[in-house]
Structure 1
Amino acid sequence: MSIGVWDYLPEYEQEKEDILDAVGTVFASGRLVLGDSLRSFEQEFADYHGVAHCKGVDNGTNALKLGLEALGVGPGDEVVTVSNTAAPTVVAIAGTGATPVFVDVRDEDFLMDTAQVEAVLTPRTKAILPVHLYGQAVEMEPLLRLAAERGLTVLEDCAQAHGARHYGRPVGTFGAAAAFSFYPTKVLGAYGDGGAVITDAPDVDQNMAQLRYYGMDRVYYVVRSPGHNSRLDEVQAEILRRKLTRLDAYLERRRAVARRYEEALGDLTGDGGLVLPTTAPGNDHVYYVYVARHPQRDALLKALEKKGVDLNISYPWPVHTMTGFSHLGYAKGSLPVTERLADEIFSLPMYASLSTDRQDRVIEAVRATLREL
């Protein structure tokens, strides 16, 4: 049996009783949408981050899109972000009618190069959207300073960084609002789709409440401003409530998996070969994915596949190179670090329920393959 980068079944076996109880609790409640489970999860998720408000939505992409709209972003605006990210980050920006503007990432940790942001700001810039990538935070102080000086807003993309901290502070608490995804692969994953937006601003929270519910303000049929149908359902909310109590334990297990990789593969790094992840200053990494680099990445992955280890690339195609965003006019070579990383990065298996035995098989296969290259 091949080993992939993610598998929810071991976790389900460990937590089956609680997961099925969560489903039964909702089905017996008489309320399947916008009920007590969602309200409780929203309060508990806000409390976990030390903020005042949370609104659950149907997926992480809509968390970003509605979050931007709740902050006033719309047609004619520009939003600064990165191309080394999952496409939904940019799809969400485009969905508001705004234009994505890209800066490159840093070679050492793959995070937004905040030193490049000021140069791309224009009178049309409305927001900065940093992506806390792979499990750790973007350097936030320069972005917050620029936002304050230029009258911009900041929406944090926290889809890959549940529980991560930046200088002791939870990600998602730096900007005006933050968007999360609860897609099953995430650090805090549902058993289906889901997302949320957290904020300390009452007006942003009120905007979110309307935007996710057709644009209605409490009273059904009364639309204040056209919105969306984007609600986190009760079953997913109740499952997430249960899993939120275990989030810190998941984080510790992920860090333990990362330490084993570092200890077992660290001697193979250097001399233009394998590069393991680094943690940026001030960050507590949660390792949503464990992204390494190798100049012969494609040959490495092909050889590992023959050994029963089927790895992933996050991400093989930078967003600015995709045909769907060719109208933005980014030529090949315009984001050199991002483009170089796309040819070299790959993800090793990383999830809280990854067994030591399976990880050892991955490590053994990687070591053997690197000796063969």
Structure 2
Amino acid sequence: MIKFLDLQKINAQYREALVQKSADLIDSGWYIQGGMLKQFEQELAAYTGSKHAIGVANGLDALTLILKAYLHLGKLQPGDEVLVPANTYIASILAISENGLIPVLVEPDPETMNLDVEAAGKLVSQKTKALLNVHLYGRVSWSDKLEAFLEEHHLLCIEDNAQAIGAEFNGKKTGNLGDASGFSFYPGKNLGALGDGGAVTTNDDELAAMVRIIGNYGSQKKYLNQVKGVNSRLDELQAGYLSVKLPFLDKENAIRRKIARQYIDQISNPKIVLPEFPQDEQEHVWHLFVIRTENREELQAYLLENGIQTLIHYPIAPHKQEAYKEWNELHLPLTEEIHRTVLSLPISPVMEAWEVNKVIETLNAY
């Protein structure tokens, strides 16, 4: 069986160093917000080119804390509207509604699956104060046109960088393009922990300080609580594991790009719509390789019968989920078509050449 993502094989490469990190932590006697977290925060800030990196519990918390901090700082007000791609994972939208802000769903660009700036422009109102911009599947969602749009409408821009760590736009990494960015280190991400984890990056001193305070029970000094906070801190051990893996991220992303290039060059079945490979290859880290087909369930079953595991990212659009039943009658045709037809193929830095070839040959024979 060709696994969709072989996490055991990925982490086996770093086993010795990961075990040593575990031993170091046990011996240190300092298990929360210690030296390993501080080290990883410094490394992540340096990697992205950001002034600040703050470790938090997970990717959803990262986005939630950014918006909550903006509310505390008065840069957002309850009831403000936040533009967000309609075809994103639901976490992006949950972070907005959790904070008493109003998500405004924007249909994507059909070529990139990322934000359509023109579509966003048609939805701007006097209440629109921010854009939550998602780098979906690992492709950078940024352009000169987007920058002009943000400036014209005086919008805060929060990057959802859960899937695109290491991607670049004009030599600048995601996580350092907008005003603030949320990261996820869920085990299956390009930079994955061995459990949940997340981070916030920003160049805004005031925002960084507020995110730290809110994520630590609303406290900067022990037992003195400035605001009503939460407990959202990146675990010391996970931070240590991420420090082990971060130096190899660019190399692993390069392997993903090579596999994606081979898929695009060699998959020739007319029943399959392939993603576009950007002219600047650094703009995509291929967290997911997502094809589209009208016969998704049939194709997925066929691939499984031939020993190839696939997943669907994502089978149900956020506006069709019971959690947002107030939107269930909303019709967003492009988003709905995407969720009906997408299928994610195996892609990872530990795929062997024969596995890639088998995926291609099996798809072409379908």
Q: Using structure 1 for the length normalisation, give the TM-score.
A: 0.93
Q: Distance in 2 between matches of 1:340 and 1:244?
A: 36
1:196 aligns with 2:195: no
Code of the aligned partner of 1:62: D
Secondary structure of 1:231's match? coil
Q: Contact between 1:109 and 1:279, CA under 8 Å: does it hold in 2?
A: no
Secondary structure of 2:129's match? strand
Secondary structure of 2:122's match? helix
1:118 to 100, 118, 121: 121
Q: Distance in 1 between matches of 2:222 and 2:95?
A: 26
Code of the aligned partner of 1:122: S
Residue of structure 2 equivalent to 1:211: 214
Residue of structure 1 equivalent to 2:285: 286
Q: Contact between 1:140 and 1:174, CA under 8 Å: does it hold in 2?
A: no
Q: Contact between 1:162 and 1:286, CA under 8 Å: does it hold in 2?
A: yes
Q: Percent identity?
A: 35
Secondary structure of 1:366's match? helix
Residue of structure 1 equivalent to 2:298: 299
User: 5+ residue gaps in structure 1?
Assistant: none
Q: Distance in 1 between matches of 2:237 and 2:351?
A: 25
Q: Distance in 2 between matches of 1:152 and 1:256?
A: 36
Matching of residues 317-332 of structure 1 within 5 Å? 317-328=316-327, 331-332=330-331
* Cα deviation, residue 11, structure 1: 1.4
Q: Distance in 2 between matches of 1:29 and 1:361?
A: 47
| Structure 1 range deviating more: 122-131 or 143-152 | 143-152
1:235 aligns with 2:234: no
Code of the aligned partner of 1:209: R
Q: Distance in 2 between matches of 1:280 and 1:79?
A: 28
1:178 to 166, 171, 181: 181
Code of the aligned partner of 1:150: H
Residue of structure 1 equivalent to 2:337: 340
* Cα deviation, residue 275, structure 1: 1.5
1:77 aligns with 2:80: yes
Residue of structure 1 equivalent to 2:149: 146
Deviations 1:158-215 (A, max 9, x none): 0010100112211121211011100001011100000000001100110111011011
* Cα deviation, residue 330, structure 1: 5.3
Q: Distance in 2 between matches of 1:96 and 1:340?
A: 29
Q: Contact between 1:46 and 1:198, CA under 8 Å: does it hold in 2?
A: yes
Q: Contact between 1:10 and 1:354, CA under 8 Å: does it hold in 2?
A: no
Q: Distance in 2 between matches of 1:12 and 1:40?
A: 20
Deviations 1:290-328 (A, max 9, x none): 011122222111222222222111111111111211224
Residue of structure 2 equivalent to 1:256: 258
* Cα deviation, residue 105, structure 1: 0.7
Q: Distance in 2 between matches of 1:7 and 1:279?
A: 24
* Cα deviation, residue 281, structure 1: 5.3
Secondary structure of 1:268's match? coil
* Cα deviation, residue 27, structure 1: 1.6
1:94 to 97, 100, 103: 97
Code of the aligned partner of 2:91: P
Residue of structure 2 equivalent to 1:351: 348
Q: Distance in 1 between matches of 2:77 and 2:23?
A: 41
User: 5+ residue gaps in structure 2?
Assistant: none
RMSD across aligned positions (CA) = 1.6
Aligned positions, number: 361
* Cα deviation, residue 141, structure 1: 3.0
Code of the aligned partner of 1:274: I
Q: Distance in 1 between matches of 2:299 and 2:104?
A: 33
1:162 aligns with 2:168: no
Q: Contact between 2:320 and 2:327, CA under 8 Å: does it hold in 1?
A: no
* Cα deviation, residue 134, structure 1: 0.6
* Cα deviation, residue 74, structure 1: 5.1
Q: Distance in 2 between matches of 1:239 and 1:64?
A: 22
Q: Contact between 1:80 and 1:103, CA under 8 Å: does it hold in 2?
A: yes
Secondary structure of 2:137's match? coil
Secondary structure of 1:245's match? helix
Change over 3 Å in CA distance of 1:172–1:140 after alignment to 2: farther
Residue of structure 2 equivalent to 1:13: 12
* Cα deviation, residue 12, structure 1: 2.1
Deviations 1:11-47 (A, max 9, x none): 1222211111121121211111100111111011001
1:367 aligns with 2:336: no
Q: Distance in 1 between matches of 2:183 and 2:133?
A: 13
Code of the aligned partner of 2:248: R
Matching of residues 46-61 of structure 1 within 5 Å? 46-61=45-60
Q: Distance in 2 between matches of 1:101 and 1:142?
A: 20
* Cα deviation, residue 255, structure 1: 1.1
Q: Contact between 2:269 and 2:363, CA under 8 Å: does it hold in 1?
A: no
Deviations 1:195-246 (A, max 9, x none): 00000110011011101101112x1111101111000011000110111111
Q: Contact between 2:84 and 2:133, CA under 8 Å: does it hold in 1?
A: yes
The structure 1 segments of at least 4 consecutive aligned residues displaced by more than 6 Å after TM superposition are none
Residue of structure 2 equivalent to 1:277: 275
Q: Distance in 2 between matches of 1:325 and 1:4?
A: 33
